[in-house]
Chains A and B, each alone.
Chain A
Amino acid sequence: MKNRLQKNEDIDVLRFEKGGLGQEVEELCGENLFGCYQCGTCSAGCPFIEDMDLAPDDVIRYVVLDRVEVLNSKTIWLCASCYTCAERCPRDINITKIMEALRQIILRKNIDQTSLVKIPENERKIIPQMAFVSLFRKNIG
């Protein structure tokens, strides 16, 4: 696998023991990553696949192979928890929860992904409140 992921200084300082990333993800999401047989159903149905740097099944493979650079992936932040992959997985793995676990590993180190000041004033007036609440819940630790 070629490394397509951008470097990120904040995230690159995170250190894990051998196999530690997979273990932490499994503890957070309660899913068995090794159950995945890489069929790609999750990636085929994902509405954001075109904009992702890693496909959802790649993300699982990266975690299983202990490739910590998966935390630099755009994919985990593009996932909006629509549950389509979880609904369709033939191995009944909740990929939505795996994405959330990866986000939480970063957010719980106090590395936020959204800055409130960046949102323009005119947009703040028209966007539904629920969009803000969910964005902050997903992107701020």
Chain B
Amino acid sequence: MKLLYYPGCTLKTSAKNLERSAFAVMDALGHEMVEMKDWNCCGVVASLTDDDLMRHLAPLRNLIHVEDAGENRVVTLCDMCCNTLKQTNLRVKEKPEDLEKLNAFMDEEKDYKGTVKVIHFLEFLRDEVGFDVLKKMVKNPLTGIRIMPYYGCMLLRPREVSIDDAEEPKILAELLITLGAEVIDNPFKIECCGSYHTVEQKELVSKRAHRITSFAVERGSDAIILSCPLCRFNLDVRGKESEKLFKGYKQIPVYYYTQLIAVALGLDLKCCGFDTHAVDPILLLKKKGCLKKE
């Protein structure tokens, strides 16, 4: 299957490893992911004021380019891009008068017809590849590793654009079971990691990262699995920094779900870019004997 892919700013800069591991997984699954042409920043946060149509322009332009490519769906790896594109898509479908205004504003682009469906890579794995198919391909099961799924905000809320139940999501837990790991549940799995406050109020975000992770550690987690590049930075880097704020606290490694799939499928670890993480992710995998290749 060929799938059109929208990267977004962070996937091309500080989350290259998320992109590379996703491409490697797609390859192994026998599907093809093609980056869309002429994409632009989605704006990251969706417009929340009713009169502000300007902030819908950037996401809408991307949706138009998906239609231009002759596709009716686009896959994203970044949670925030996915959320923003989905919210704009929803808005223009619900309010045709807004779409008319936005279309009129576009200069070189064609009119958006509203045919595009935005999906997250996780949705693709669950609904189209199927976790049962993925399970059959696992070569190095993550046996004996206890992992806490962390969903954050943008995958789940608002409810209209959620990829799973907004209060009790289970998609990452199911994925972990597929890969042979043990799931550690945690009520903080759907709580905000601190998001963009990481720029100006890093101590606040460190405190949040500690709150989320320390509870996981208390429950016996060895690691965290997540999907959002900003959550990864906050829980991993700011979490590591929180060791200075909380005596005796030790941060656990944080993995993207694509990295753990790549490990379980026995793919070349280069695609995972583990060297960019603050807490060494390889050590745990070695300790648990999950790196052997057949």
Contact = CB atoms under 8 A, between A and B. Distances in A.
Contacts of A137: 43-45, 55
Contacts of B51: 27-28
A100 to B, nearest CB: 4
Contacts of A133: 9, 41, 43-45
A126 B64 CA distance: 32
Contacts of A81: 45, 48, 153, 195
B72 interface: no
A84 B199 contact: no
Nearest to B8: A130
Contacts of B13: 128-129
Contact of A84 (B8, B41, B153): B153
Contacts of B198: 127, 131
B80 interface: yes
B204 interface: yes
Interface in A32-87: 47-48, 51, 78, 80-84, 86-87
A100 B9 contact: no
Interface residues of A, number: 36
A8 B130 CA distance: 55
Contacts of B194: 80
A135 B13 CA distance: 18
Nearest to B12: A129
A16 interface: no
A96 B194 CA distance: 15
- Interface of B, secondary structure class, is loop
A113 B50 CA distance: 22
Interface SS of A by simple majority: helix
A96 to B, nearest CB: 6
Interface in A19-37: 27-30
Interface stretch (B136-144, B218-226, B229-237, B242-250): B229-237
A100 B49 contact: yes
Contacts of A135: 196-197, 199-200
B22 interface: no
A135 to B, nearest CB: 4
Contacts of A134: 44-45, 80, 195-196
A123 B202 CA distance: 10
A72 B133 CA distance: 54
Contacts of B190: 84
A133 to B, nearest CB: 4
Interface in B107-161: 153, 157-159
B237 A82 contact: no
A44 B249 CA distance: 27
A24 to B, nearest CB: 11
Contacts of A97: 48-49
A89 to B, nearest CB: 12
B10 interface: yes
Given A84-B192, A126-B14, A131-B230, 14 more contacts: A27-B50, A27-B51, A29-B50, A30-B50, A47-B192, A48-B192, A84-B157, A100-B48, A101-B48, A127-B199, A128-B230, A129-B10, A131-B199, A135-B199
Interface of A: 27-30, 47-48, 51, 78, 80-84, 86-87, 96-97, 100-101, 104, 114, 118-119, 123, 126-135, 137-138
22 contacts: A27-B51, A29-B49, A47-B191, A51-B204, A78-B197, A81-B48, A82-B191, A82-B192, A82-B195, A84-B157, A87-B167, A100-B48, A128-B10, A128-B15, A128-B233, A129-B14, A130-B44, A130-B80, A134-B45, A134-B195, A135-B197, A135-B200
User: Which 3 A-B pairs give the minimum distances between C-beta atoms?
Assistant: A83-B157, A100-B48, A82-B192
